[in-house]
Amino acid sequence: MQSLETIFLSIAIFGSGVLVIFIIAKYSYLTKKVFAEKGMPGNGSKMSYSEMACIVIGIALGLAASSVFTVMDLPEDTMDMLIYATILVGGGFGLLSAHFIRKKGEGTK
C-alpha cells in the first residue's frame, strides 16, 4: 500500500511540474504573439539581477526567521505551518522590494 501511495505522489508531483511549465510556456508564447501582432518590440518585463536578488534574499530571511520556531515547544503541525508561513511572508517581502526597485529604475512613482 505504501508503494502505491509513493507512485501516485510521484506522478502527481511530476504532472504538476509539467503542467506549470506548459502554462508558463503557453503564456509566454501568447504574449509574444500579441506583441508581434501589434508591432511592439517586446514585452519589456525582463527581471534584473537586483530584483532576483531581492526575492532570494527575502526567501532566505524567511528561512532564517523560521528557524526560531524549531526551538519553541510547539505542536508539530503548528510549527510546520508557522515555518511555511514565515518563508512565504519573506518571499512576499522580497517580491514587494523587487517591485519598488523596478519602479525606481523606471523613474515613475
Nearest alpha-carbon partner for 96 in 49, 57, 67:
57
Grid cell locating 62: 524567511
Which residues of the chain carry a pLDDT beneath 50? none
pLDDT for res 12: 92
**Looking at residue 103, what is its pLDDT?**
83
CA atoms within 13 Å, Cβ hemisphere of 13: 6
pTM score, whole prediction: 0.55
**94 vs 90: CA distance, rounded Å:** 6
On whether the CB atoms of residues 61 and 96 are closer than 8 A, the answer is no
65 alpha-carbon distance from chain centroid: 18
